[in-house]
Structure 1
């Protein structure tokens, strides 16, 4: 396991890169699928990383607590080297209720992760709907528990989502997420 910090090329106000990816529910998703939401939280994540695993409960909470927020998990990891990150395992996690995001998507080619500049799992990007586009509002960690065994004291992404949906300035400083490195196919 290699611990890395998030460091994307996307800047605040940048438009969310387009994608079309298969979901763990058997459907294919693109950005337009989420056009009815005021905010979109794209989280590059996976099944095997303890840092990503420690955030599943909070991501499930975010997906259920805010009706105007879509929570989209995208798993870009090399499933040949890490079989727990296969689409089949993702489907199992959705079917048994472990993962309850708005959508849990598989980025087999890793092109979407590269386009977003994602480097670790979890790597969260919060976008605000702006007409037909989503624009980056906040790229930061989910909470202040930086180790898988730690209990969070501050739910920073929750605070950011609430402010964004209320039309207010996000009251939280951006702090890089940290977690396992994305398992690149050509690495």
Structure 2
């Protein structure tokens, strides 16, 4: 009986280990884990410019956030994303927002609608279109919003945190744990990030 319990426990642990806290789902099985080096990209911003991570010569890292116009979760976090950019951009960690949705499946996430949304909300960060949906699968983003904190190192842009912005999308005043802020603060101080993966809560990316 003790052997059976041990085997069952090992099976449960193995199953949990095979699942990433970044929300593994059918069709979204590939992507980065903590410690991986993230690819750069060149995507069109709402101002018409092409934007890459390499454009930010003085950056210490990046908050790459997959988000969109239409998802209620993404909308609920827009002001918090602006606040993150305002707080950390001056410390060398800017927000780079990417809309991964297929505009054929979600027309209100098309490029022209993105320009309108960015102006209405006063986005202080690039808002890029993942044209052809080539970037989000590389990162392993599954939902909007989905955050990837990268640290610029000599070897490349190392993934340091993956997941949600905080623990309460409905009410910022009721947030108890600010996952992204805690992760960025630890990274900037050269400290270990205590919680480096969480489950992204939001709408499935439209493919």
Q: Same fold (TM over 0.5)?
A: yes
CA contact (8 A) 1:6 1:123 kept: no
Aligned equivalents of 2:123 and 2:42: distance in 1? Answer: 20
Distance 1:149 1:166, change over 3 A: closer
Aligned equivalents of 2:102 and 2:171: distance in 1? Answer: 25
TM-score between both structures, scaled by the size of structure 2: 0.79
1:84 aligned onto 2:84: no
How is 1:169-180 mapped onto 2 (pairs within 5 angstroms)? 169-180=192-203
Secondary structure of 2:40 counterpart: coil
Q: Which runs of 5+ in 2 are unaligned?
A: 1-21, 25-29
Q: Which moved more, 1:148-157 or 1:11-20?
A: 148-157
1:6 aligned onto 2:31: no
1:135 aligned onto 2:152: no
1:119 deviation in Å?
1.0
1:170 deviation in Å?
1.3
Larger proportion of strand: 1
How is 1:31-180 mapped onto 2 (pairs within 5 angstroms)? 31-66=53-88, 67=90, 68-101=92-125, 103-131=126-154, 133-145=156-168, 147-148=169-170, 151-180=174-203
CA contact (8 A) 2:42 2:50 kept: yes
1:121 deviation in Å?
0.6
1:132 deviation in Å?
6.4
Larger proportion of helix: 2
Secondary structure of 2:116 counterpart: helix
Once superposed, which parts of structure 1, at least 4 consecutive aligned residues long, lie more than 6 Å away? none
CA contact (8 A) 1:35 1:132 kept: no
* 1:112-138 residue CA offsets vs partner (Å, 9 max, x unmatched): 011111111111100001026211011
Bigger Rg over Cα: 2
Aligned equivalents of 1:6 and 1:26: distance in 2? Answer: 32
1:139 deviation in Å?
0.8
CA contact (8 A) 1:25 1:94 kept: no
Q: Which runs of 5+ in 1 are unaligned?
A: none
Q: Greater RCO between the two (CA within 8 Å, min separation 6)?
A: 1
